[in-house]
């Protein structure tokens, strides 16, 4: 079997995060259930009380909460592409770890900055929900910070700590938010939120990360990066087919710029390998 199939399947599963979030609706409860299920399963495999696990878990907990909010308010497709502004933020945050960005990283970051500016303009004009745009940016920033931290610690031998070992620590973020929502908010359908949260934990967290790691063992990182870019494309398709989400010409252009930036990022990985 071609091992790139594992990466494609992981990307396909990740692309359904927005769909599951739209089904569950109650973001706080979904994030809480996702953390509980993913954390419990992760503890059976690997336990860590290290600083890398805590930092990665906090960032993933924020991601678990912000990305579904973006999918519900901005739309499944727009949220996925805003999530993929992450290379811009990871490039900037890598400076704090002493990394010097390559010309490919800088070029990709510039394209993503232009794309984010276009999407911000669309949000200001009403073609994109402004609050959803902000939540989408937050998810992209959080994901970029996680990528930067995970890369830093993985190079120092903490690969499992920042992946499986981080899952239980997502509860540090999702438990207070979930409890506050239950006590003072207006909880939605607990059954729907529970089903969506469990789906997100298994099919959008643990399983795709395992599939992705299986794929990158046998194919180049640059190839894996290109294949993983299927995620936002599929998410946009789900948004169009399932929710009739409108894609304006400017939004389409911004999506294209992000995809080009991801391809440029793959060239950086090719050169480094």
Do 174 and 65 form a contact (C-beta atoms < 8 A)?
Answer: yes
Length of the chain: 273
Beta-carbon contacts of residue 68 (< 8 Å; ≥ 6 apart): 17, 18, 21, 24, 27, 30, 31, 200
Amino acid 220: pLDDT: 66
Which of the 8 DSSP states describes residue 100? P
**pLDDT by 10s per residue, the chain, length 273:** 667 788 899 999 999 999 999 999 888 999 999 999 999 999 998 888 899 999 999 999 999 999 999 999 999 999 999 999 988 888 888 777 677 777 888 888 899 999 999 999 999 888 889 999 999 999 999 998 998 888 888 888 888 898 889 999 999 999 998 888 888 777 778 899 899 999 999 999 999 888 887 777 777 666 676 778 889 999 999 999 999 888 899 999 999 999 998 888 777 655 554
Do 243 and 74 form a contact (C-beta atoms < 8 A)?
Answer: no
Amino acid 186: pLDDT: 73
Amino acid 1: pLDDT: 61
Which of the 8 DSSP states describes residue 57? H
Identify the three-state secondary structure at position 229.
coil
Amino acid 213: pLDDT: 78
How far is CA 267 from its chain centroid? 21
Do 40 and 146 form a contact (C-beta atoms < 8 A)?
Answer: no
Domain locations in the chain as residue ranges? 4-272
Burial grade of 107 (CB within 10 A; 0-12, 13-18, 19 or more): middle
**CA end-to-end span of the chain:** 23
Buried b / exposed e along 3-28 (16+ C-beta atoms within 10 A): ebebbbbbbebbbbbbbbbbbbebbb
Claim: this prediction has a pTM higher than 0.85: yes
List alpha helices for 155-206, DSSP H.
171-184, 190-201
How far is CA 6 from its chain centroid? 18
**C-alpha span between 271 and 16 (Å, rounded):** 32
Which of the 8 DSSP states describes residue 203? I
């Amino acid at each position: 079997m071609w091992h790139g199939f594992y990466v494609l399947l992981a990307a396909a599963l990740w692309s359904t995060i927005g769909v599951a979030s739209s089904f569950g609706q109650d973001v706080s409860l979904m994030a809480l259930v996702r953390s509980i299920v993913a954390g419990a399963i992760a503890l059976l495999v690997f336990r860590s009380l290290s600083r890398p696990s805590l930092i990665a878990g906090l960032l993933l907990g924020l991601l678990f909460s912000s990305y579904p909010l973006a999918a519900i308010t901005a739309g499944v497709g727009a949220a996925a592409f805003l999530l993929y502004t992450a290379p811009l933020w990871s490039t900037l945050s890598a400076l704090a770890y002493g990394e010097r960005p390559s010309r490919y990283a800088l070029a990709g970051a510039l394209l993503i900055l232009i794309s984010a500016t276009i999407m911000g303009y669309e949000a200001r004009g009403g073609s994109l929900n402004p609050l959803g745009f902000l939540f989408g940016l937050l998810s992209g920033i959080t994901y970029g910070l996680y990528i930067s931290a995970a890369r830093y610690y993985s190079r120092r031998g903490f690969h499992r700590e920042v992946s499986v070992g981080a899952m239980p620590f997502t509860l540090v973020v999702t438990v207070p938010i979930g409890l506050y929502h239950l006590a003072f908010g207006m909880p939605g359908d607990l059954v729907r939120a529970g089903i969506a949260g469990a789906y997100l934990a298994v099919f959008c967290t643990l399983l795709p990360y395992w599939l992705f790691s299986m794929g990158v063992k046998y194919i180049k990182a640059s190839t894996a990066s290109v294949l993983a870019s299927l995620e936002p494309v599929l998410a946009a398709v789900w948004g169009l087919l399932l929710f009739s989400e409108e894609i304006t010409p400017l939004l389409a252009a911004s999506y294209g710029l992000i995809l080009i930036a991801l391809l440029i990022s793959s060239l950086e990985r090719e050169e480094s390998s």
